[in-house]
Amino acid sequence: SQQGEEDPQALSIQEGENATMNCSYKTSINNLQWYRQNSGRGLVHLILIRSNEREKHSGRLRVTLDTSKKSSSLLITASRAADTASYFCATDVSADKIIFGKGTRLHILP
């Protein structure tokens, strides 16, 4: 079963535009993480936000978390061709386990 669900499933934008993807989850969490995956390779950890945080920044990434709505968003500003990838949110369902959503496939058009 999958705890998180990303929206949209796929997104195509022009280079330089901002990309926003959302994640909704079902049960209470302590932390939520976002990962990037290029072409079916390994996942790269982007950012972790704790349940007592509402917003976090890392370079061109901005993550928000709304625990009352059980949702998070990932904003990538000034997108680049290299940002083309799949993006996954992951939530902790126990002390030792995170569960991923199905991901958003982001395509940056030149």
Partner 1 sequence: DAGVTQSPTHLIKTRGQQVTLRCSPISGHKSVSWYQQVLGQGPQFIFQYYEKEERGRGNFPDRFSARQFPNYSSELNVNALLLGDSALYLCASSSASGTRYGYTFGSGTRLTVV
Smaller CB separation from partner 1, 4 or 19: 4
Residue 104: closest CA among 14, 48, 15, 21? 21
* DSSP codes, 65-108: EETTTTEEEEEE-S--GGG-EEEEEEEEEETTEEEE---EEEEE
- Residue spans of alpha helices (H) in 4-52: none
Shortest reach from residue 17's CB to partner 1, in Å: 25
Amino acid at position 28, single letter: S
Q: Please, are residues 76 and 60 in contact by the beta-carbon 8 Å criterion?
A: yes
Shortest reach from residue 9's CB to partner 1, in Å: 10
Smaller CB separation from partner 1, 83 or 88: 88
Chain residues 36-95 in contact with partner 1, contact rule CB under 8 A? 40-45, 48, 88, 92, 94-95
Q: Phi and psi (nearest 5°) for 74?
A: -120, 125
Q: How many residues bind partner 1 (CB under 8 A)?
A: 26
Residue 25 within binding range of partner 1, rule CB under 8 A: no
Shortest reach from residue 79's CB to partner 1, in Å: 22
Binding site for partner 1 (CB under 8 A): 1-2, 4, 30-31, 33, 35, 40-45, 48, 88, 92, 94-103
